[in-house]
Amino acid sequence: MADDTGMFSLASPTSEAPAAMRMKLKNYDLVAAQALNSMGVSRIESITLEALRDVVMAGNKATRYFSEFADADPSRRGVAISRLAQVMLLFIERMESDIASKVLNNTVRDKAMAEAAKLKPHFATLDGGMNATTESKTLKWAPVSGKPKNQDDISAAADAVYD
């Protein structure tokens, strides 16, 4: 499916394609930055999931895709998983703050915090940090400590988050 809404296009009458498409995404290349309009209505609310997937995988003139989940290199998909885990851990931290208790309905917050307590250790396992490795000279999904994580633990954490 094509992006019939035009929400992911960088095209303008005077724009030119960059010399090479980025594979290492910048913050503004990520799907959230491309799809969510903080100043108005976001068209992402009306696009089908299949169309969104196709658009994310297609990218635009500047980048091959809008999420590392679409990369053929498994280590780059690991970066996407690590980003997701980092964001969720920061979200849980924010939910644990006094501010969240003042602005959210306590019943809703309590339910969210119960789920967060179950998922937090799994997100910690999936959070690989953003480390450079000598063999790839790129950011890889590798623990900050430098010690590789147990693959079984990673798989169990991914299964728990998926469930």
Percent of the chain whose pLDDT exceeds 70: 74
pLDDT at 146: 53
- pTM score, two decimals? 0.62
pLDDT at 145: 53
- Domain locations in the chain as residue ranges: 27-68, 73-162
Q: Is the pLDDT of residue 138 over 50?
A: no
More confident site: 51 or 42? 51
Distance, in Å, from the CA atom of 31 to the CA atom of 46, rounded to the nearest integer, reads 15
Q: Is the pLDDT of residue 33 over 50?
A: yes
What is the rounded average pLDDT for all residues in the chain? 76
pLDDT at 58: 82
